[in-house]
Structure 1
Amino acid sequence: MHLTTQRRHLPALITAAVLALSGLAAQAQQVLRVTAIPDEAPTELARKAAPLVKYLETKLGVKVEYTPVTDYAASVEALVNKKVDMAWFGGFTFVQASVRSGGKVIPLVQREEDEKFRSVFITADPAIQSLADLKGKDVSFGSQSSTSGHLMPRSFLLQAKVDPDKDFHRVAYSGAHDATIAAVVSGKVQAGALNISVWDKFVADKKVDTTKVRAFYTTPAYFDYNWTVHADMPQALRDKITQAFLALSRDTAEGKEILELQRATRFVPTKADNYKGIEAAARSAGLL
């Protein structure tokens, strides 16, 4: 009789154990892992991430961990392979992640500025006044996977009938926007292309002598950076993350600090279709 009773209760015990384990698993997953493309120095990226991580923890009720990566490709692989849950991508890295994952990544939000983003070409050479003047020169891009530091500048060069691989004396890749500025300042290259917001920030902070180094060409606008998640993330969490970003406001001290560090007026919703132009540019430039 006792054995029969045990057998009768066994399914219930198994169910209870499974539920308990599921609960533990859910608790274990209460960590949102985020990363960002390394488009600036690691110390600057960490400084920008710290208050945002703290804010998201408060809004989402989970621990948020920021994990730096060594290069752009690593950020793509980390999200595609679900080593992280969310990544700050440039338009091109988003396209790479989308292609690499078979469309299994979803862009949630972008800065208002990313709806009409631009790149600048800078130089310390008085003889360089236009893109055509770059022929025969040493020119630096940022990372090869950078939207604003390589893909779009290359795309606009090609439209201007300047082929970097044929017309430049040397093509360099600095790895990051601030490194491109340093390469031009030091004379390692005669010109460089980079993200306009990094250039504007350097100018505003007087980190570059504009009597010696100047922007001589600004590209047309294009869509750029976004926060992207893996498509397997539950819709409810996606919605909470989106709302947290949309709620950021310069009217609060916390919001003002975060938005200024992110170089954003505010965050707005975005969608995969916004990056079709980036994908087309990448394919036409032979980079995808």
Structure 2
Amino acid sequence: MIKHLLRAFALMCIANLAHAAPAFVFTAIPDQDETKLQQRFQKVADYLQEQLEVDVRFVPVKSYASAITAFRNNQVQLAWFGGLSGVKARELVAGSKAVAQGVEDPEFKTYIIAHKSTGLKPADKLEDGLKGKTFTFGSKGSTSGRLMPEFHLRQQFAQAPEETFSRVGFSGNHSRTIALVESGAYQVGAVNYQVWESAVAEGKVDTDAVSVIWQTPAYPDYQWTVRGDLDALFGTGFTEKVSQVLIGMNDPELLASFPRKGFIPAVNEDYEPIRQVAKQVGLLD
């Protein structure tokens, strides 16, 4: 009798697990070192789990391309993308949509930074003195670390960066770009202005060795994007609930980790300028 009861209980547990709600998994483009990303987004996972009342997990990725692949393959259902990575990801998953962006994201900027040995000074335009220097972008798929600075460099010098500079590299993330230019490994680099300002505020940059010499005009950048099949996976209205929970994030500690003053609604059309620039530069078919 006891054996039958235990067997029945085990079968019931298995059945319950089979019908349990799936985990809601998200990721983020690795725009900073992995340790900092894990600290940032584990707190966000805890917040989302409490608000959404489902199991929420953060899964780190090694590259911007990996973030897009995970989204395409339904390994993650939500992602904190940059402008370009978001555009690319939404093209791969039917019905996917941008649902929230930082207050600062409609007016994002890239800083061009230079080592003191270059003698380059802050200016209102990209100077001819940049020619022949060594230059590092961030990740190859970064909006602020590659797409927008490359666009403006091409506009100014009417040629590819490889023709403007003596050597062109890709650091992989913004933190590394700052370190490479600060050390003199590269003379000039392109960096996300938020990462730069946070690093300076935290005393992590030797501003006697490296400084900002130019900034791009504003453009739309980071956003939260969800897959188009989210409601089918988690129930009708779940997409809207996720959007509202993200927009309602107001804990100063959570917001400081992005860093953002808050989150506001976003739609796919907000990122049409990024799509157009990516086509012009050849980063999007």
TM-score of the alignment, normalized to the shorter chain, above 0.5? yes
Which of 69, 72, 76 is matched with 1:77 structurally? 69
Give the match for residue 7 of structure 2: none
Number of residue pairs matched? 262
More displaced stretch, 238-247 vs 168-177: 238-247
**How is 1:110-259 mapped onto 2 (pairs within 5 angstroms)?**
110-124=101-115, 125-129=117-121, 130-161=126-157, 163-234=160-231, 235-249=236-250, 255-259=251-255
Distance 2:252 2:212 in 1: 28
Q: CA deviation at 1:60?
A: 0.4
TM-score between the two structures when normalised by the length of structure 1 = 0.87
Q: 1:226 to 1:26 in 2, by over 3 A?
A: farther
Distance 1:131 1:232 in 2: 48
Matched, 1:99 2:91: yes
TM-score between the two structures when normalised by the length of structure 2 = 0.88
| 8 Å CA contact 2:157, 2:164 repeated in 1 | no
Q: 1:64 to 1:137 in 2, by over 3 A?
A: same
Q: Deviations over 1:201-234 (max 9, x none)?
A: 0111111111221000011000000111110111
Q: CA deviation at 1:244?
A: 0.9
- What are structure 2's unaligned runs of at least 5 residues? 1-13
Distance 1:164 1:104 in 2: 35
Distance 2:91 2:62 in 1: 21
Structure 2 counterpart of 1:243, which letter? Q
Matched, 1:48 2:43: no
Structure 1 counterpart of 2:76, which letter? V
Q: CA deviation at 1:63?
A: 1.2
| 8 Å CA contact 1:131, 1:157 repeated in 2 | no
> Deviation above 3 Å: which 4+ runs of structure 1?
23-26
Q: Deviations over 1:97-118 (max 9, x none)?
A: 12333x4321110101101000
Q: Which of the two has higher C-alpha Rg?
A: 1
More displaced stretch, 197-206 vs 118-127: 118-127
Structure 2 counterpart of 1:96, which letter? K
Q: Deviations over 1:101-140 (max 9, x none)?
A: 3x43211101011010000000113422344322111100
Q: CA deviation at 1:50?
A: 1.8
Distance 1:167 1:238 in 2: 45
Q: Secondary structure at the match of 2:135?
A: strand
| 8 Å CA contact 1:131, 1:217 repeated in 2 | no
Q: Secondary structure at the match of 1:121?
A: strand
Give the match for residue 258 of structure 2: 262
Matched, 1:35 2:27: yes
Distance 1:244 1:284 in 2: 36
Q: RMSD of the TM alignment (CA)?
A: 1.7
| 8 Å CA contact 1:90, 1:226 repeated in 2 | yes
Q: Deviations over 1:125-177 (max 9, x none)?
A: 34223443221111000000000000011011112125302111111000000
Q: Secondary structure at the match of 2:237?
A: helix
| 8 Å CA contact 2:118, 2:187 repeated in 1 | no
Q: Percentage identity across aligned positions?
A: 38
Q: Secondary structure at the match of 1:158?
A: helix
- What are structure 1's unaligned runs of at least 5 residues? 1-19, 250-254
